[in-house]
Structure 1
Amino acid sequence: MIIVNYLIVCLIFGTTFLAIKIGVDASAPPFFSAGVRFFAAGLILFLWMVWRKKARWSILLRKEMLLTGIGLTFGTFSTLYWAEQYVSSGIAAVLSATGPMMILVLQTIALRKLPDKRAFVGCFIGFAGVILLLLPSLTVSASKWWVIGSIAILVGEFCYCAGALYSKGVIQRFRDTSPIALNAAQMLYGGILLLLLSVCTEPLNVSNMLAPKAIGSMLYLIVIGSMVGHSLFYWLVAKTNPVFPSTWLYISPLIALIVGVSFYNETVTWVSQLGVVTIITGTIIVNWDSLRQLLRKRDHRAEPDLLRKPEIQT
């Protein structure tokens, strides 16, 4: 189940970049679109969890929800949306792929948790694979705003990694509350902050928001991107560790490449193919321990009852 949900997260997050691009190209205000997306998704999910008696309204009064929302939603998406005005999507993908390595470094510094050497090697291999995958299409314009935009993406990625690590502790602290409800609460706060940022920085044109492409993009991002994708990501953090689900950052450029080849007749060079192999290799190395544990559990469950009885008796 963990592997299936991880692959679903990779697929969803890999396609949300295209959905965001469609909305932005339709002249939808970036901060406002992101704010509506996360606020609506968070509100619907939270109301659903309250109705199922798996969450209480009082959870919204806890500062942990605000801090998680600042890291995972507001800090990440406000910087990314702004920076992509000056930085190409390829460069943004490469910079975002530093996430798993940042998490390992933060674990070492903040949590004093020594990282596994295999995980470090896998992160570097996966990051190198992302560069190889996108190398043929990477364009760099070394202007002042390009540099500032690149730094903004890295700052946003730091917020994302800090939020992922912090959310692991929040999930453990609120064991009686569903991870889906916790994710909904942080999206509510992140969405509100994005809407406040939009009010202060963007002119709102309602007609642009009513364009068919803008509406389609918004609905996909609310339902699939946020309600499904972010809830599964939060669930994976609860069931595994912050590094494992964050490796979707390596897989998403691969999914974007497949979508481009399938629907836009884009070509694939041998360098990109080498990048695909490198990404898969790095991702397997990073997640080796988690994959091995999952395989052991599956093999143990598959054992016949006759083989298990002697172990129980002893």
Structure 2
Amino acid sequence: MVLFNYVLMCLIFGTTFLAIKVGVDAGAPPFFSAGLRFFLAGSILFLWMVRQRKARFSLLLRREMVLTAAGLTFGTFAILYWSEQYLSSGIAAILSATGPLITLLLQAAISRKRLSVTSIAGCITGMAGVILLLLPGLMIKVSRLWVFGCIAIMLSQFFYSAGAVYSKRVVQRFQNTSPIALNAAQMIYGGAMLFVLSLFTEHVHISSMLTLKALFSLIYLIVIGSMVAHTIFYWLVAKTNPVFPSTWLYISPLIALLLGAILNKEPLSFLSFIGGFTIIIGIVLVNKDYFRQMAGKKRIQIVSREKPSPPV
């Protein structure tokens, strides 16, 4: 059951970039559709958690939810949705996978700790992968918006990294609250922020949201992409450990790259594929020390469970 849910989660996360692309190309306003996605998904999940008595409405009054939402949802997805107007879903997915690299650099800067040789090698490998990924597009004449879109997604990962680092503190601060409820609360605020941005930057025509492709994209992202996938993620964390489910970051971007080429006829050069694979290798190298640390803790837990209790 664990393996099945893990594969399912990777496939879902790998399809969300293409679903965003389909909705945006169908004419759905990027900021409004992103806000609708996260506000509705967060509201449904949060009400369900309240009904299960695993969350209280007072959680929505905590400023930690607003600050987490500003990084994880608003800053990250406002830029991603905007950028996918000009980029293929596969390129957007691979560039978004640089988040762990930026998170490592941010954590090192905050804690003032020196990076290990492996981590430095991972960062260099990851950046080399980004160059390889973008090289085919830079070698031919491309629009400025394509270049700006690539740069924007890289910048969006600073929002993601800041939100990820801060959310770790929030989870520790709210240890008695389900992580699903915390995620739902921040999605509500993130969706609300996206609505405000849409109000000042977009002219929303309801007819553009009612096309078949736009509706399919929205419903899929709300139900499957946000509710089902995140629930599976936290289920896997509970059944295994925090590291194993997070490895979707190494698999889903490549799935997105292939799906975009097959289903949406997005251009995919051999050099771009190599670049994407190189980025994934860099991310693995960056997290190698963390994997060893978590694996060691897991072995200690297993040994302690198997060790017989002393006689009373």
Identity between Structure 1 and Structure 2 (%): 58
Q: Which amino acid aligns with 1:193?
A: M
Encode CA deviations 1:281-311: one digit per residue, 9 max, x unaligned. Answer: 44443343454466667777888x9x844x9
Moved more, 257-266 or 173-182: 257-266
Alignment match, 1:60: 60
Aligned length: 308
Alignment match, 1:76: 76
Q: CA RMSD in A?
A: 3.8
CA distance in 2, matches of 1:2, 1:29: 37
Alignment match, 2:212: 212
**What TM-score does the superposition give when structure 2 sets the normalisation length?**
0.80
Q: Which runs of 5+ in 2 are unaligned?
A: none
Is residue 37–residue 222 contact of structure 1 (8 Å, CA) maintained in 2?
Answer: yes
Query: What pairs with 1:300-311 in structure 2 (closer than 5 Å)?
Result: 308-309=307-308
Encode CA deviations 1:163-221: one digit per residue, 9 max, x unaligned. Answer: 01100000000000000000000000000111111122211211221112111111110
Alignment match, 1:156: 156
CA distance in 2, matches of 1:144, 1:271: 21
Going from structure 1 to structure 2, the CA distance change for 1:115 and 1:47 (only over 3 Å counts) comes to farther
CA distance in 2, matches of 1:88, 1:270: 15
Q: Which runs of 5+ in 1 are unaligned?
A: none
Going from structure 1 to structure 2, the CA distance change for 1:270 and 1:195 (only over 3 Å counts) comes to closer
Is residue 31–residue 81 contact of structure 2 (8 Å, CA) maintained in 1?
Answer: yes
Encode CA deviations 1:134-167: one digit per residue, 9 max, x unaligned. Answer: 7556776576545544443233211111001100
Encode CA deviations 1:114-144: one digit per residue, 9 max, x unaligned. Answer: 4443233234334544654675567765765
Going from structure 1 to structure 2, the CA distance change for 1:157 and 1:278 (only over 3 Å counts) comes to closer
Matched, 1:30 2:65: no
CA distance in 2, matches of 1:128, 1:244: 26
Is residue 94–residue 257 contact of structure 2 (8 Å, CA) maintained in 1?
Answer: no
Moved more, 83-92 or 10-19: 83-92
CA distance in 2, matches of 1:119, 1:51: 44
Going from structure 1 to structure 2, the CA distance change for 1:260 and 1:128 (only over 3 Å counts) comes to same
Q: Which amino acid aligns with 2:118?
A: R
**What TM-score does the superposition give when structure 1 sets the normalisation length?**
0.80
Going from structure 1 to structure 2, the CA distance change for 1:119 and 1:5 (only over 3 Å counts) comes to farther
